[in-house]
Amino acid sequence: MILPLSAQLINLLASLMLLLAFAMLAQRRILSLIHLFALQGAVLTVNTVVVAQSTAQAHLLYSAGLTLILKVIVLPWILHRLIDRLNIRWDVETLINIPTIMLVGILLVILAFNLALPISQLAGTITRATIGIAMASVLLSMLMMITRRKAVPQVIGFLAMENGLFFAATSATYGMPMVVELGIALDVLVGTFIFGIFFFQIRETFDSLDIHHLEKLKEK
């Protein structure tokens, strides 16, 4: 079965999303992590534009613009400013046991693909095959948040998860209604600002951005 070119392109971009999600999972350097995040935003934008073009959904172009501004320009810029101000540009995180994390990641991908199978059979979009990838990238970002010990990578994981969700919305339904999308974008932006404020508060209090310090409150 040969798919139309646009569908092939979308599939390729979807695979890139997945590849980037894995790259982020394994990336130790904070700076490269931000680059990867921006790249993911760019892939997302291109994907949205391709979908918009091939389905003549004009509102998707707006959301592509929104993605471009928010996720490729504004958020990475804020993150760059943050790591400059916090002086952690060259921080490298010690990740234990990447192969195990990767293995768990693969299991998550299989799980996501299986979950997505019935859904994608129902979706009427040309992008339906990519729902599984969207779900997988959401789960992988979640895994990234769990495995990270530093504040900034955790936040990048959080933002990457939002990317995955956006991707899911585009591939399953050609995007959410505009009101909702604007609301989500606003929440993400405000969330990032609050994260930024948090970094400074945490640094001020602990002299470090290591989440290890944030593990005092446990049930005895």
CB 47, CB 10: distance < 8 Å: yes
Residues numbered 68 to 107 that lie near another protein (CB under 8 A) are 98-99, 102-103, 105-106
CB 43, CB 14: distance < 8 Å: no
Binding region for another protein (CB under 8 A) out of 32-40, 64-72, 73-81, 121-129: 121-129
State the minimum distance, in angstroms, from the CB of residue 89 to another protein.
21
Query: Does residue 142 bind another protein (CB under 8 A)?
Result: yes
State the minimum distance, in angstroms, from the CB of residue 37 to another protein.
16
Residues numbered 152 to 171 that lie near another protein (CB under 8 A) are 154, 158, 161-162, 165, 168-169
Q: What is the DSSP letter of 44?
A: H
Helix or strand holding residue 191 (H, E): helix 178-206
Among 51, 64, 72, 172, binds another protein (CB under 8 A): 172
**22 vs 37, beta carbon nearer another protein:** 22
CB 68, CB 45: distance < 8 Å: yes
Distance separating alpha carbons of residues 156 and 154, to the nearest angstrom: 5
Residues numbered 11 to 30 that lie near another protein (CB under 8 A) are 11-12, 14-16, 18-19, 22, 26
Enumerate residues 6+ apart whose C-beta is below 8 A from 36. 20, 23, 24, 27
